[in-house]
Structure 1
């Protein structure tokens, strides 16, 4: 089967697509991956043929950082900012994708850019599978408002809220979709109607009690994490099976960092993925101060910080999450789906300092389940982060996090590939559709 994977957005958005692409290639399929222009090299470095489409994801992330509406106390202003951002580059992304879509049997997309992929699938007359990293299909099990009072809303209100957000997004993007259909490139072939649509839920349904029953028939595959050889994970690749535990950790981390990690008490990991940090010096100072107050060593991760390794603070560009996080006491992070999965897999508590998109939802859900604590990144202070870490590292939270990590499933990529293969035109399709519109809601975006 010829499969086109379209995963727009940041590196966190693209990495699950890379993992899925590698799995499908290993099964003998012909795979091409379309990613943001700045991530083509990332995909190809991990063995997946890639082409650029849409806008540079770093530009979009900086736009979110600089647009004050994303931090506005009025939710209407925040919604407008998200819609404006989603409209940027829509027609160009769809045109880029259409240019490489010919001859493919199936189009698989991530949450970011799902609507553009749907237009291309419609134009080509091929099925569309969307990989969702968070529950965005209208439902009553997940609070539509990621806040303390939001979780007290009744299921009917949550379901209505998700439907309203989906409808608002569809209305906002309708002019972009129309412009693409009317373009000279798209006019070469008449539209073929809405594509057959499958929404793959790439997360653990157990984190959202009642959701799997509510979305009966929708495939849940689990988090798309690297298994065995974490080739697409941030940082160095893992060694071959059979390597001793000490050699494995040292190889995956780098000797200097490995020695620092085992030289003292388990540190607190702090990293914010691809999120643009406006004042990295101030953030480093804040994290270091919290470490001093609590007597904790800190591992600070990110390319925006000046790398060095000292007694109480180690600062590195990037790490292999699978190698590092099990050696940490807790993880302070932005709450992207990929990082959240890595922390859950390691069995350590999370302190989610959310920036945007689905991150506040992950923070609230893990806090509600007793797996961590959360607060917005905006306005973060040393006092607040200190309180969050104290709450997240109580014995009860540690036990819950460890228990979750012990039962974490590593086969999410393989299960997602099974669903993709089931959509082959030569094979009968299972009944996986939900009947809901194939539109990502406001939370689609960077991980």
Structure 2
């Protein structure tokens, strides 16, 4: 059986889907990942077929428009800016996905590749909605891009999901209806139904995060599955550099600081990080992306890295400072090491709030409020608080005992074997 996974975004968005695809392949399925060209080597390195989808989200985020978007706390503005950036690419991305799915028996799609639902409808084949954050309405907490500081109450929490999901869906509605009519020979869909139809048809939903971090809300149905994280294990051919190995053995465990696809800041911000490390007496490992930084500018107790598997590095750290992307948050929790989130935008404040409430992290420090003093205080807490350290170890042990990929595969196999897929026309 052939399964195509449609996903777009940064590495943190794509890598867990590669892990899921790898698990499906090991279970006997033929798996193709359709995503951006930048991930072709990574996909094929893990033994999966690859198909290209137009766009490069990481490049968009690095653009002037992307950087302006990162500075906003308004979810509506974020949607508007995202729409402006991706609109020229959407039709081509849909056509690329259509080509990738020609030999598919089932499709797994994400929110930013929601046209996977439409392609499955045209072919009359099963489909699954996959997400790394909660996207189903519930009264317990608002949509993850809403500030956790807002106390909306249960009714508004519930309504925040269809309002923001369908607002995001307006990015795709016009090109999607054009795609449905001209390519799929399907009628157009009504306003405000792009994501709601997933619920109306009880399409299986796979959530790739741990129930210990976000328990399944009681109002969710049997077709919503919180499986646990989808971790991509380090490949056996990866080797740490001698410089990294020497640095790790030269002193106490360092503090990791990296902001993933968010990139870094200017030289002033870099100096802020270095000052916090010096103030707390901590050694540090910095991930590249920081503006105005080079190894020759760093003290001997700070090492600059281009990239390294989180699963290998994080357990060796004293503490972790990161942007709060879903994937990095998962890796930090799994490592059993205290971490603090410096959220930039989107769902990152949500994850920062979650790990704080779990007791594995100090309060998150929003990017705009990052100072040497606040970062130094968070570092001190992480490396000296035994209660937090023990809680991080306990949560890490629980997450390592989960097998999110296998849980997701069990759901997929059960639905493929028992379900009849009928696509309701949302007109």
CA deviations on 1:370-413 (whole Å, 9 max, x unpaired) are 22131222352222322332344433322211111121134111
Q: Give the TM-score normalised by the residue count of structure 2.
A: 0.86
CA–CA distance in 2 between the matches of 1:70 and 1:320? 25
CA–CA distance in 2 between the matches of 1:293 and 1:263? 20
CA–CA distance in 1 between the matches of 2:76 and 2:134? 22
The structure-2 alpha-carbon separation of the partners of 1:220 and 1:97, relative to structure 1 and needing over 3 Å to count, comes to: same
CA–CA distance in 1 between the matches of 2:75 and 2:219? 28
Aligned to 1:214: 219
CA–CA distance in 2 between the matches of 1:141 and 1:149? 14
CA–CA distance in 2 between the matches of 1:266 and 1:320? 17
1:175 aligns with 2:174: yes
The answer to whether the Cα contact below 8 Å between 1:146 and 1:364 also exists between their aligned partners in 2 is no
Aligned to 2:331: 342
Q: 1:203 aligns with which of 206, 209, 218?
A: 209
- Aligned to 1:291, the other structure's residue is in SS state helix
Aligned to 2:259: 272
Task: Report deviation, 1:85.
Answer: 4.0
Aligned length: 406
The structure-2 alpha-carbon separation of the partners of 1:44 and 1:377, relative to structure 1 and needing over 3 Å to count, comes to: same
Between 26-35 and 168-177, the greater mean CA deviation after superposition: 168-177
CA–CA distance in 1 between the matches of 2:378 and 2:354? 15
Cα RMSD over matched residues?
Answer: 2.8
Aligned to 2:192: none
1:358 aligns with 2:347: yes
CA deviations on 1:107-136 (whole Å, 9 max, x unpaired) are 1123432x2222222222222212110111
CA–CA distance in 2 between the matches of 1:198 and 1:56? 28
Q: 2:418 aligns with which of 422, 428, 447?
A: 428
CA deviations on 1:335-393 (whole Å, 9 max, x unpaired) are 11111111001111111111222211101111222221312223522223223323444
Report 1:2-21 matches (<5 A): 2-21=2-21
1:100 aligns with 2:100: yes
- Aligned to 1:78, the other structure's residue is in SS state helix
CA deviations on 1:64-121 (whole Å, 9 max, x unpaired) are 76452442355543342234345452221111110121231111123432x2222222
Q: Which runs of 5+ in 2 are unaligned?
A: 190-196
1:398 aligns with 2:389: yes
Aligned to 1:387: 377
- Aligned to 1:354, the other structure's residue is in SS state coil
CA–CA distance in 2 between the matches of 1:191 and 1:77? 30
Between 335-344 and 67-76, the greater mean CA deviation after superposition: 67-76
- Aligned to 2:212, the other structure's residue is in SS state helix
- Aligned to 1:207, the other structure's residue is in SS state coil
Q: Give the TM-score normalised by the residue count of structure 1.
A: 0.82
CA–CA distance in 2 between the matches of 1:69 and 1:58? 13
Task: Report deviation, 1:148.
Answer: 5.3
The answer to whether the Cα contact below 8 Å between 2:55 and 2:89 also exists between their aligned partners in 1 is yes
1:285 aligns with 2:271: yes
Aligned to 1:164: 163
Q: Which runs of 5+ in 1 are unaligned?
A: 232-236, 240-250, 438-447
Aligned to 1:306: 294
- Aligned to 1:208, the other structure's residue is in SS state coil
The structure-2 alpha-carbon separation of the partners of 1:346 and 1:262, relative to structure 1 and needing over 3 Å to count, comes to: same
CA–CA distance in 2 between the matches of 1:369 and 1:205? 12
Task: Report deviation, 1:57.
Answer: 2.4
The answer to whether the Cα contact below 8 Å between 1:301 and 1:316 also exists between their aligned partners in 2 is yes
The answer to whether the Cα contact below 8 Å between 2:122 and 2:186 also exists between their aligned partners in 1 is yes
CA–CA distance in 2 between the matches of 1:63 and 1:48? 30
Task: Report deviation, 1:330.
Answer: 0.8
Task: Report deviation, 1:13.
Answer: 1.3
The answer to whether the Cα contact below 8 Å between 1:70 and 1:82 also exists between their aligned partners in 2 is no
1:315 aligns with 2:304: yes
The structure-2 alpha-carbon separation of the partners of 1:397 and 1:147, relative to structure 1 and needing over 3 Å to count, comes to: farther
Task: Report deviation, 1:4.
Answer: 0.6
